[in-house]
Amino acid sequence: MFRLDKKIAVITGGGSGIGKAIALRFAKQGAVIHIIELSVESAGEAADEIKNAGGTVLIHSCNVASQKEVLAVFKNIGAIDILVNNAGIANIGKADTTSEEDFDRVLSVNVKGVYNCIYAALPQLRKSNGGVILNMASVAALTGLAERFAYSTSKGAILAMTMSVARDYMAENIRCNSISPARVHTPFVDGYIKKNYPGKEEEMFDKLSKAQPIGRMGTPEEVANLALYLCSEEASFITGIDYPIDGGFLKLNN
């Protein structure tokens, strides 16, 4: 079960964190992996791990916010079976403390970047007679998180895009779903704590971990396992749905 043998999978932001975990998991299940990153160097470690495990991987340098670059990459890749829109950036700020520059930057990557990849991927999915699009949303789209105005806005858009794409391309055998993680322990989290709470890293890590009722952060591998299911034939009856993976954050917080 959950095999992806000979499936062509494109994963944006596949060089680190959740994207890397998804790339590794899909490769282990037999998929041919195409990682899209801003720079080739940032995906080198992930690519090495996949190759060392006997998998097949190609890296493409691309700014997902540029439709011209995205179209060129997807044309070069050709027919695909799976697109995972994982690339994204975060921002700290409320509505009146978020600059126009930061707002535009977050939406250009998190929203336009997903649109660009979907736009470019659809013709390539049709060549394979259908496939799967999986978008990375966030619990920030489903509940109020303090000082996450631009980020929450962008992830709310992902939910709407997911349902729209699922509806529009259902007849073409293209499924589209999204995943909404709560806090996941990635290098980004470690960098955020180190930058904003110097000298209090351990204390803040514990506090952020306990924000999930289950008492810890999620792992990239746990998100990758859910992504694998949603992109496999075992999930062939599922489309237009968002899946929170949150350690009880949305429903069990008092």
Active site residues: 151
Can you spell out the DSSP letters for 98-138?
Answer: S-HHHHHHHHIIIIIHHHHHHHHHHHHHHHTT-EEEEEE--
Q: Could you give the angle at which helices 67-77 and 113-127 cross, rounded to 10 degrees? A: 20
Structure token digits, residue 118:
């979907």
Nearest to 37 by CA among 100, 103, 88, 71: 88
The answer to whether 176 and 165 are in contact (CB under 8 A) is yes
How far is Cα 181 from Cα 247, in angstroms, rounded to an integer? 9
CA angle 12/13/19 to nearest 5° reads 95
Nearest to 85 by CA among 129, 115, 60: 115
In angstroms, what CA-CA distances link 130 with 112, 133, 171? 23, 10, 9
How far is Cα 25 from Cα 143, in angstroms, rounded to an integer? 29
In angstroms, what CA-CA distances link 132 with 4, 26, 250? 12, 13, 26
Residue 251's CB: how many other CB atoms inside 10 A? 8
